[in-house]
Amino acid sequence: MSSPIARFSLEGKTALLTGASSGIGRRFAQVLAEAGATVGIVARREETLKEIAGQFERCIPFPADLSVPEAADELGRAALAELGPIDILVNNAAHIAGGVKAEDETLDIINTTLNVNLVSPIRLAQALYPSMKERGAGSIINVTSMVASVGIGRFPQAVYSASKGGLESITREWAAQWSRYGIRINSIAPGFIETGITADVIKKDNIQQWIGRNTLIPRHGQVEDFDGALLYLASDMSAYVTGQTLTVDGGWTAH
């Protein structure tokens, strides 16, 4: 009998990962590839994707601008044509207009945020659904946020929160409709994470003190903190898990 740990292996699996060029997405590309998956990596920056593909031989670039909803349809077709059936879809791409108050969010901000964070994940899942249904297997992982369920206020991001709340909600509805066909749909909801984009703000003394006071594990997250959640939901270790949100926020939302 094989070790249960072996069920974390993604050997022979094919994944499609959006938002792969930086931050948690870049880490996800590494983790999926090192677990044995062939990974289609998606982002706007083609040169960065090529650099990641050069570092991890199992990664294959798919440049796409997901602020244009039609791009998700084209991406789905291209990925299926080049990679074959997709076993794992990770909807990680995100747009955030940080620091803009709710009353000042423009129509351009609203449209771009909703297109990247909600509309494109929906279209991409729809594009991959038929092949997953035909094979009777698949794992869709939506990267949402703790702001899908709690207000923050200190970092204004109203439409971003709405988009992530919608993605978390549709996770449950997809699970209700598609799990009978062997397709599992779950979410990962990160808390505060240090990335290249957030580092300058998150490391300020007053922000560190605020995070420490409000997080049960008194620190902000690192991209490595999400390795286990990703591998669990992508692999057979979560074969009986669907429609769930795995919140990885150090306990911010627990009190």
Active site residues: 160
- Rounded CA separation 28/34 (Å): 10
End-to-end CA distance of the chain: 42
Residue 54 burial (10 A CB sphere; 0-12, 13-18, 19+) = exposed
Three-state SS for 224? helix
- Rounded CA separation 84/249 (Å): 35
Residue 153 burial (10 A CB sphere; 0-12, 13-18, 19+) = exposed
28 residue type, one letter: F
Give CA 155 to chain center in angstroms.
21
